[in-house]
Amino acid sequence: MEKKFFEKPTIYVGEVNINVTNLERSVTFYKDFMGFKTLKEEANKVVLTADGKTPLITLVQPKNVTKKAERTTGLYHFAILLPSRADLAAFLKHIIQASGGKMRLGASDHYVSEALYFDDPDGNGIEIAHDRDSSEWNWTENQVSMATVALDGDNLLAEAKGDWQGMPADTLMGHIHLHVSDLEKTREFYIDGLGFNVVTEFPGALFTSHNGYHHHIGLNVWNGAGAPKPADNSVGLNWFTLQFPDVTTLDEAKEKLGKVGADVKSENDYYVVEDPSGITIHLVVN
């Protein structure tokens, strides 16, 4: 894991805020099973961290919460990025031991990374990954080579140096992958507005990044073009943050967002904008 993709001058994903149906159950899952720590706790909200100071995931149980709506825009998955391959190996070992091998689990080699996929108790998608060194990524004319091939689980497990001890302090929010309703309007918003670059494309999907990362934001129309926005009290994504390196870069993004028709609103110490699919983003200076 290379910190340069998650520090100045890079724009990257910081915190992900999601709705759940049972806060106590979800906190148990994210803390006891996954290994996060509590940073802040309120009546209907718990903020989770890996290093004891940086919020990564916030769990919210809204009033009259409803189950995850199908075929809507919003969260496909968020990706927790572990510092090393040995960490991912220890987590895979932990999953097998904790679930007796019965947990529904996806596992993929993406060339740039290796990843495990599963859902939280409400069906919110989670990826746990580690990056290969960027010197091993293959680029052709500003496009990075990524694919989804079978992960060599035995080879990965052989790298486990011990039992899972919870999220390492250097754990980061690697990326977020979103269901959107219109790919071309989405391209305009994230590329022309926010300043990301398209680094690879698949049928119905764009992968975008800043400062040469393999992707900070994935975007797809796999739930159908024109997919509706879910209700505010539905399980799923409330908002996520984009961390900007400085005020100047954020001001430039605000100006460009205005030119593509986005309404950027000021809050106390950050800005709020919705993408063309109604997905809320908090713009923050790192």
Cis peptide bond prior to 55, omega within 30° of 0:
no
pLDDT at 99: 81
Could you tell me the mean pLDDT of each successive run of 10 residues in the chain, 286 residues long? Answer: 94 98 97 97 96 98 94 97 97 91 89 97 97 96 94 94 94 98 97 97 96 98 96 96 97 97 95 98 95
Grouping H, G, I as helix, E, B as strand and the rest as coil, residue 234 is strand
Q: How far apart are CA 275 and CA 264, in angstroms?
A: 10
Joined together, the tokens standing for residue 201 give 């494309």
Using alpha carbons, list the distances in angstroms from residue 272 to 50, 190, 257.
25, 14, 11
Supply the pLDDT for residue 140: 96
How high is the pLDDT of residue 100? 78
pLDDT at 1 (0 to 100): 80
Asked whether the beta carbons of 129 and 177 are under 8 A apart, the reply is no
What does the DSSP assignment read for 36-103?
-EEEEEETTEEEEESSSSSEEEEEE--TT-BPPPSS-SEEEEEEEEPS-HHHHHHHHHHHHHHHTT-S
Tell me the domains of the chain and their CATH numbers: 3-285 (3.10.180.10)
Taking the C-alpha atoms of residue 180 and residue 234, their distance in angstroms, rounded to an integer, is 16
Q: What is the pLDDT of residue 77?
A: 98
pLDDT at position 176 is 98
DSSP of 247-269, one letter per residue?
HHHHHHHHHHHHHTT---EE-SS
User: Alpha-carbon distance 273 to 265, whole Å?
Assistant: 6
Within 10 Å of residue 71's Cβ, how many Cβ atoms? 11
